Each structure stands twice: as C-alpha cells, then as structure tokens.
C-alpha cells in the first residue's frame, strides 16, 4: 500500500469533521490586517488568519449579494442559473429553485446536522419570504433575516423556521449566540453551521461601546468600525465554543466576505465606508475592489496553518472543499465549477486551482453614489494568470491589466498587447456560450 493510500484509509476511519462557514457582508478588503492596513481591532479574525490559511487572491463570483451567495451555496457559477444580479423581478424569483443541490443538501445526505444563522437573501428582498427558503434547500433549522436589508437594533424582524419574531438584542450578537447554541446542541454529531452575518452591510448601526477610530475617522467610519468589532467578537464566540466543546481540532472553519466593500461611492442604501485599497473599485464593480475578497480556512487536524496560499481561488471552492472534507464525492451531474482546495493546501497539487475565472453581471450605472440597475447592460471580465480583461457596460472597448505589477488596475495595456486582448476575449466568449442568457428585464 502506498503512503497516500494508507493516509486515505486512516482518514476514512477518522470521525467526520464539523464544518463551519462564516460569511461577512460588504467588508472592505483592506479592513482585516491579513489583507491590508486597518485601524479596526479584529483579534479573533486575526487569530483565525494566524492559525489557518490566508487566501490573498480569492474572488467572489459577483460584486453584489444574491449572485455571490448563489456561488457560495452551489459551488457553481450563478450565471448557469440565468442569474446576473440581485433578484428583483417576479420572473427571476424561481431561478434558484432549479439550481443543483446546495452545499447544505449535499452535507445533509452525508448525515450532517445543518443549521443556518443570519442572512440568507436567496428568496428575494421581500417579506414574507418568496421562493425556496432555507429549509427547502437543505437546512434542518434556520434563524435570521431573509432579505438583504435589516436594522441591527430591536425590533428588527427575524424568522425562525419561517415564523417571524422580533430581534431581542443587537443583531450581530444575537447571531453569535444562536451559532453557539447550534454548536452546543449538535456537538455529539457532525454538523454544518452556516453563519451569515449581515455586518458590516448598511445601515450603519453600532452599539456605542463598539465604535472606535482615530481623530481623523469620520463618525460613519467609527460606526462601521463598531459593526466590524461586533462581528469579530461573535466570530470569537464561535471559535471559543468549538474549543470548549473539544471540537476545535477536527472542525474545518472557512471565512469569506461575500463581495467587495461598499465604501463611500456606492448607492446610499449600501454605502458603509469599507476600504478596499490598494484595489480599484467597490461593490457593484468588476474591478478588483468589487470581486476580490478576504478568505481564510482552518482545520488543525488536516491542514498546516499559519501560512498564505497565493494561488487564485474562488468562493465557489468552499462547497466542493467541504463536501470532500466530509467524505463525499463530487457530483458528476451538475458538477461544481469550484474545486476542492484540500489537495492544494496539503501540497499534493502544485498547479493553479483556477487558471481562468470569468464574470458577467448586470451593470449598475450612473454617477458614483447614485447608481441604479442598468437594465439589460452588463459588465464583463476574465482573469487568466497575471492578466485581467474588463469591459464596462457603457464602453465598447476592453481594458487590459497586468495584476502582477498593477493590482490597482491603473494602467490599461490593451493597446500594447492586442493579441492578449483577442485571446482573452475569445476565451471569455467560450465561457459565456456555456451559460444561459439572463432574464430580460422590461
């Protein structure tokens, strides 16, 4: 028996790992020390970074909430469902119902207890929920907000297994306590916890004791910092609960932000002062500031920690990584577009997880800070190796950037390298031909 087969046999005998997925909402890329310079203290996410693996080149599938969360939950390009934006129109609402199995559905079949705490946002931005709510997509229980916008203070409206109730306390703390409850109640069986914070998405609301920042910080930035601190505190509660239950070593924890930070230049309903520097752009953009996201993983029993993985990865990779960690097989029908990252993190694979990634999303157009959905106009982008090609909806020409030397996408090289533009455009069109067209809006 080879060493690899021997180790695989041992792994098969080991107890199934617990799986925890933590998602933040609109956090600025630079607002965690592992990814940039920030004045906001985040000791618990710092500890996750220091003991796990940090992915400095991680991407979401979209620069906006609903499609990015579809990518996370299905492990597939959301364009395969015909989804290119948040779902607002009645004809768009059923699309997620026809998706392949979600991560929760895969894990439930493998005997996992499945629980969702926090933001779902895959049943439209409406109350009561419309479309497939979490218990129809693999979750044994869920508590949280269904849509994308919510106040953080009581009486914020929540649902517990489709029954509405009022939040008893500041929302982020309530979500942290519910997550700890789920861990405690399921500690004797393998579980999958999906903890979807809505922090630090607007509205800017923080408890006074959490607000922080230097004299140069604006009141909004200090409030944003308080929201991030509250989220970090509750990440700490979850990590402590795993340790106190004796589950820390055999729990795979993944953290990811849903899309780029909101900054001060997005529409008013989503503005939050998040900082993406040195990346260009913000939420809604296909520049790096809209789609490059903080992402980390930790599994002390199986993955060497305290390091960075510099390959190009995607939030779509979380689903296949969790399925394989749980001992499952990757689906043949409706296969994942994401990849299992475990062989890369254990040094068994040396190639790029994603030689190519593509994006196409409905544009939000207009002056900065006053954009509106752009109807049937789309931004497009492709990354291949060091090169990234971007086409804005209101422009005919592509822009070409060398991310290896220009991560801020300041220097358009399309005129200097027309052959690279042609090659990448052709590759993008091959990808695009695999995807169903978006729902046409009035």
pLDDT in tens, 84-135: 888 655 566 656 666 679 999 999 999 999 999 999 988 766 666 666 789 9
Distance CA 195, CA 198 (A): 10
| pLDDT at residue 9 in the model | 52
Looking at residue 136, its pLDDT comes to: 87
CATH code at position 373 = 3.30.1120.10
Is residue 1 scored above 60 in pLDDT? no
How far is Cα 256 from Cα 289, in angstroms, rounded to an integer?
Answer: 15
- Output the six-digit token pair for 54: 């940090």
Are 255 and 392 members of one domain? no
Are 276 and 283 spatial neighbours (Cβ–Cβ below 8 Å)?
no
Among 305, 321, 345, where does a domain finish? 345
- Report if residue 54 sits inside a domain: yes
Whether 46 maps to a domain, the answer reads: yes
Domain count, the chain: 2
Please report whether residue 400 resides in a domain: yes
Residues 85 and 164 in one domain: yes
Residues 152 and 223 both lie in one domain: yes
Q: Examine the domain organization and report whether 309 and 375 are in the same domain.
A: no
Nearest-angstrom CA–CA distance, 294 and 27: 8
Q: What is the mean pLDDT of residues 306-325?
A: 98
pLDDT band at 190 (very low <50, low <70, confident <90, very high): very high
Q: d(Cα 29, Cα 55) in Å, to the nearest integer?
A: 12
Tokens, residue 264: 């001060």
Q: pLDDT confidence of 216, banded at 50, 70, 90?
A: confident
373 found inside a domain: yes
Confidence of residue 7 (pLDDT cuts 50, 70, 90): very low
Among the candidates 290, 325, 345, a domain finishes at: 345
User: What's the CA gap between 305 and 440, in Å, rounded?
Assistant: 46
Residue 351 inside a domain? The answer is no
Give me the catalytic one of 44, 65, 106, 201. 65
Residues 6 or more apart whose CB falls under 8 angstroms from that of 428 comprise 358, 380, 382, 389
Which of 294, 22, 291 shows the shortest CA–CA distance to 172? 22
- 440 within some domain: no
Chain segment 151-160, per-residue pLDDT in tens: 999 999 999 9
C-alpha span between 344 and 56 (Å, rounded): 15
Q: Determine the Cα–Cα distance for residues 196 and 116; give it in Å rounded to an integer.
A: 8
Question: In a 3-state reduction of DSSP, which class is residue 119?
Answer: strand
d(CA 6, CA 212): 52
Range with lowest mean pLDDT among 49-53, 368-372, 428-432: 368-372
Is 207 inside any structural domain?
Answer: yes
Over residues 282-301, the mean pLDDT reads: 97
Which residue, 116, 113, 110, is CA-closest to 189?
113
What is the per-residue DSSP string for 11-69?
Answer: HHHSPPPEEEEEEESS--GGGSTTTS--SS--HHHHHHHHHSEE-TTEE-S-SSHHHHH
Distance CA 439, CA 82 (A): 6
Same domain, 15 and 163: yes
At residue 103, the 3 state secondary structure works out as helix
Interval 206-235 mean pLDDT: 94
Boundaries of domain holding 163: 3-345
List the beta bridge partners of residue 255: 22, 296
Which two three-digit tokens encode residue 223? 């409030």
Residues 341 and 360 in one domain: no
CATH number at 129 reads: 3.40.720.10
Average model confidence (pLDDT) across the chain: 91
Q: So what's the pLDDT on residue 392?
A: 95
Would you place residue 146 in the very low, low, confident or very high pLDDT band (cuts 50, 70, 90)?
Answer: confident
Q: Are residues 166 and 271 in the same domain?
A: yes
- Catalytic hit among 121, 201, 354, 379: 121
65 carries an active-site annotation = yes
Question: Is 121 labeled as catalytic in the residue annotation?
Answer: yes
- The alpha helices in 305-366, defined as continuous H runs, are 318-325, 342-345
pLDDT over 70, % of the chain = 90
* Domain shared by 341 and 372, yes or no: no
Band of the pLDDT at 17, cuts 50, 70, 90?
very high
Tell me what pLDDT residue 119 has.
Answer: 94
Contact 81, 98 (CB under 8 A): yes
Q: Which residues of 394-420 are buried (b: 16+ CB within 10 A; e: fewer)?
A: eeeebbbbbbeebbbbeeebbeeeeeb
pLDDT at position 258, please? 97
Whether residues 201 and 271 fall in one domain: yes
In terms of domains, do 320 and 246 share one? yes
Last residue of a domain, one of 303, 326, 345: 345
- For residues 187 and 308, membership in a common domain is answered with yes
Q: Examine the domain organization and report whether 10 and 145 are in the same domain.
A: yes
Mean pLDDT of the region 420-438: 95
Whether 12 has a pLDDT exceeding 60, the answer reads: no
In a domain, 350, yes or no: no
Please answer whether residues 213 and 222 qualify as being in contact, where contact means their C-beta atoms are separated by less than 8 angstroms. yes
Coil, strand or helix at 149: coil
């Amino acid at each position: 028996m080879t060493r690899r087969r021997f180790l695989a046999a041992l792994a098969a005998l080991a107890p199934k790992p617990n799986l925890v997925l933590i998602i933040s909402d609109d956090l600025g890329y630079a607002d965690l020390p592992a990814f940039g310079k920030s004045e906001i203290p985040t000791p618990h996410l710092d500890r996750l970074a220091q003991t796990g693996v940090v992915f400095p080149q991680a991407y979401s599938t979209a620069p906006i909430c609903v499609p990015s969360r579809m990518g996370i939950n299905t492990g597939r390009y959301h364009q395969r469902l015909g989804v290119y934006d948040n779902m607002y129109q009645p004809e768009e609402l059923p699309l997620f119902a026809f998706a392949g199995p979600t991560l929760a559905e895969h894990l439930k079949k493998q005997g996992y207890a499945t629980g969702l705490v926090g933001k779902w946002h895959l049943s439209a931005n409406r109350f009561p929920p419309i479309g497939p709510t979490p218990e129809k997509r693999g979750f044994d229980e869920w508590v949280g907000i269904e849509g994308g916008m919510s106040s953080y203070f009581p009486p914020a409206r929540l649902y517990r297994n489709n029954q509405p109730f009022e939040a008893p306390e500041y929302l982020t703390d309530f979500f942290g306590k519910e997550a700890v409850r789920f861990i405690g109640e399921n500690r004797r069986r393998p579980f999958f916890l999906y903890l979807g914070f809505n922090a630090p998405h607007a509205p800017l609301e923080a408890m006074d004791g959490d607000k922080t920042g230097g004299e140069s910080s604006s009141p909004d930035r200090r409030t944003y910092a308080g929201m991030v601190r509250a989220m970090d505190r509750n990440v700490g509660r979850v990590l402590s609960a795993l340790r106190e239950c004796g589950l820390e070593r055999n729990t795979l924890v993944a953290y990811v932000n849903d899309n780029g930070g909101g900054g001060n230049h997005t529409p008013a309903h989503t503005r939050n002062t998040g900082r993406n520097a040195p990346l260009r752009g913000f939420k809604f953009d296909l520049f790096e500031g809209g789609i490059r996201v903080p992402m980390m993983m930790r599994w002390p029993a199986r993955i060497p920690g305290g390091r960075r993985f510099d390959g190009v990865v995607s939030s779509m990779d979380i689903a296949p990584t969790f399925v394989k960690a749980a001992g499952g097989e990757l689906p043949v029908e409706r296969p994942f577009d994401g990849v299992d990252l475990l062989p890369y993190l254990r040094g068994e694979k040396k190639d790029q997880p994603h030689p190519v990634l593509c994006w196409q999303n409905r544009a939000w157009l207009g002056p900065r800070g006053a954009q509106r959905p752009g109807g049937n106009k789309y931004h497009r982008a492709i990354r291949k190796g060091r090169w990234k090609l971007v086409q804005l909806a209101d422009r005919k020409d592509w822009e070409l950037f060398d991310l290896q030397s220009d991560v801020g996408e300041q220097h358009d090289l399309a005129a200097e390298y027309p052959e690279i533009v042609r090659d990448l455009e052709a590759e993008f069109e091959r990808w695009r031909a695999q995807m169903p067209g978006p729902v046409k809006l009035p």
